[in-house]
Structure 1
Amino acid sequence: MSGETVGQVDAKAPSEAKKSKKNRLSGGFFRFVLTRFLLIIPTVFILVTVVFFVMRATGDPISAAQGGRLSPDELQRRIHAAGYDRPLIVQYGDYLLKLLHGDLGTTLTDNQPVSSILIHYGAATFELAVLALVVALVVGITLGRLAAKHRDRPSDAAIRIFAILCYATPVFFLGLVLKLVFSSSMGVLPSSGRSSLESEMQFGRLISPTGFYIIDAFQLGDMRVLGDVLVHAILPAVALGLLTAGVFIRVVRTNVISTYSSGYIEAARSRGVPEKRLLSKHAWRPALIPIITVMGMQIATMLAGTVLTETTFEWKGLGFMLSQYLKARDFVAVQGIVILIAVIVAVVNFIVDVVCALIDPRVRY
């Protein structure tokens, strides 16, 4: 009887140990996710604080936007009505309180709620960023893996030169070159805007447009409108996407080469595993961690690049409006747009951390 009991205990021990290990790993992962999520709060708070005080460094927003257009008495009246003559710390506390209630203020130049500006134009920027990211991933991963496969060959050298050119070329200059070649010279692609006037009129028929023209085109069920939207997106998406693709090419090439020459790859090669499988399976996944990390950091670069890209192609998104509000010195609108971009960057970095932890459990500790 005692022997059977001991046998049963020995049989249960491995399964209980395995279950305990699984629970421990799950607990570690969720603690990691919770910690990274909570770090978003102080990050956004610091960014909001810095943006607020930097914007106030040159004076109150009304004087900056309307100083030369109003009489001194009218200017002072508006400053007092908006509360900008109060102590700065009081204005800061009031601004934080409004932020907690989702109130980002009202633009000074066109008297619109900043939140409505973010919703209306944010969709255009997000759509452009997604399309540009697709271009960057397709070009960066494809050419990066190809360069790693043909290391130190002429094709590898050509791809590396291409990557340097992509990264070093200013996005507005690349945009102008693309417009000159494909719009002015060849006349095959439109040079500006998100769609043609005819498509804009079609979007006006929608009862509840999303602001994402690709989605709205599907709502219309008109493939001509969808084609028109995609054609207008090609040049700005390529211009912005190639900027990031240059970084992806170098990162993918470096990390794939590093894992491709490691010991376990050599062991798999000695067992007769085909080179194509070595590259596509054994060397690729370990190289994903630094690649995904860099991709997350490049989101910030891409969002910064949207300002120049949208201005170059007159793509009316947040970047385009940010440049317009900067010219008008509308610091309330600029402040709201910058804060939204900061929040997006913080959330994207959180998502990148979670994805890295799912791929490699060592990241959690």
Structure 2
Amino acid sequence: MTTDISVPAAGPAPAAPASPTSRRRPSSGSSLGRYVLVRFLLMIPTVLILVTVVFFLIRLTGDPITAALGGRLPADQLAQRIHEAGYDRPILVQYFEYLGQILTFNFGTTITDRQPVVEVLVTYGGATLELVCYALIVAFAVGIPFGMIAAAKRDRWPDAALRVSAILFYATPVFFSGLVAKLIFSVWLGWLPVSGRANVRTEVALNRSGGTGIYLIDAIATGNPVYIQDVLLHAVLPALTLGLLTAGIFLRLVRTNVIGTYNMPYIDAARSRGVREGRLVRKHAYRPALIPIITVIGLQIALMLGGAVLTETTFEWKGLGFQLAAYLSARDFVAVQGIVAMIAIIVALTNFIVDIVAAFIDPRVRY
């Protein structure tokens, strides 16, 4: 007797369940591109909000022509100037027209001296850029090494002294520290110039050369060591005054992050291999602690540009901050509006660039 044993037809094998490791994460290139696109798109509403707030706050004082020239011009001439500038039209019409002008980098024309705001930005922007670069050098040179020292000497007297100094650097008003610095180093000791970007002879020579407007670069281009020395001496006090403001923030950030990385397992492993404490701080705990410094540079640029107004006024450093204070005194709100809008754009672009650099250094930022 034969037994009929039926064998099921062969079919496709059931698919194995996907393991967690088989799920692919997006490639680093796509994640970086998506991150860059998102950060760029977020920059647009940020600038738009800042420009809008400045526009409507200034319009609360009335039209800029009346604010600057009211009482100094006859009524008919004042009305004519207002009509020519378009300030007698509805406020929303003026607002959207102003947004259209900004898209073409037209920030208006100053009322007091009748020059395009863009020319003011080009003429005096180099001085402010130079001052901010000097201040950043001071902030890095003071904040990072002293932050490492404070972390290495944690809870001992050097750490306490440095933390108190950092608080004083940040809490002291820029104009006050600038006046004290001028009194000590210029008036009492006579070591450094009181004010200005250079003496008259150097300024005439550098302006005649028609350079970049950044005096140090222009002085180096001339090859004259006297000009270079004069420019650097004039930059010391403004750079220290503005740079120490940010150095206090960098010092505390570096200290906190070095102490945090000090407790990581790879630090314990290096210590168990006999690596000295000084090398642990310099080679192992220092580099990860720099990532938060990079991420806050954009915010510190905004702080420095705000502090540049007081610093440049205190030291008669003729940059955008100095001109902004002068236009505020003259109630030239068209110039004020244009300079503030340009500063907002610069700060937004700086933050965008810093975010991209941080994403390159630390891939975790992209996700």
In the superposition, the TM-score normalised over structure 2's length comes to 0.91
Q: State the distance in 2 between where 1:103 and 1:167 align.
A: 36
2:320 is matched by which residue type in structure 1? L
Q: State the partner residue of 2:81.
A: 78
Aligned: 1:34 with 2:37 = yes
2:37 is matched by which residue type in structure 1? L
Aligned: 1:228 with 2:200 = no
2:366 is matched by which residue type in structure 1? R
Aligned: 1:327 with 2:321 = no
Q: State the distance in 2 between where 1:136 and 1:249 align.
A: 9
In the superposition, the TM-score normalised over structure 1's length comes to 0.92
Q: State the partner residue of 2:121.
A: 118
TM-superposed CA distance for 1:142, in Å, is 1.0
2:165 is matched by which residue type in structure 1? F
Rg larger for: 2
Would you say the 8 A contact 1:189–1:231 is kept in 2?
yes
Would you say the 8 A contact 1:32–1:364 is kept in 2?
yes
Give the unaligned 5+ runs of structure 2: 1-21
TM-superposed CA distance for 1:284, in Å, is 1.6
Q: State the partner residue of 1:3.
A: none
Q: State the partner residue of 2:264.
A: 262
Q: State the distance in 2 between where 1:80 and 1:205 align.
A: 39
Aligned: 1:202 with 2:202 = no
- Out of 240, 243, 262, the residue aligned to residue 242 of structure 2 is 240
Secondary structure, counterpart of 2:275 in structure 1: coil
Q: State the partner residue of 2:190.
A: 187
Q: How does 1:12-161 map to 2 (within 5 A)?
A: 24-161=27-164
CA deviation map 1:117-156 (0-9, x unaligned): 0000010000000000100110000110010011111111
User: Residues 205 and 80 of structure 1: is their aligned pair in 2 closer, same or farther, counting only changes over 3 Å?
Assistant: closer
TM-superposed CA distance for 1:51, in Å, is 1.2
TM-superposed CA distance for 1:276, in Å, is 2.4
TM-superposed CA distance for 1:106, in Å, is 0.6
Give the unaligned 5+ runs of structure 1: 1-16
Would you say the 8 A contact 1:240–1:306 is kept in 2?
yes
CA deviation map 1:221-254 (0-9, x unaligned): 1111011001000000000001111111111111
Give the fraction of aligned pairs with identical amino acids, expressed as a percent.
63
Secondary structure, counterpart of 1:152 in structure 2: coil
Q: State the distance in 2 between where 1:103 and 1:178 align.
A: 39
CA deviation map 1:180-227 (0-9, x unaligned): 001000111001000001101211331x31100011112211111011
Would you say the 8 A contact 1:167–1:246 is kept in 2?
yes
Count residues with an aligned counterpart: 345
Q: State the partner residue of 1:9.
A: none
Q: State the partner residue of 1:12.
A: none
Q: What is the root-mean-square deviation in Å for CA atoms of aligned residues?
A: 1.4
TM-superposed CA distance for 1:294, in Å, is 2.4
TM-superposed CA distance for 1:95, in Å, is 1.1
Would you say the 8 A contact 1:248–1:295 is kept in 2?
no
| More off after superposition, 139-148 vs 25-34 | 25-34
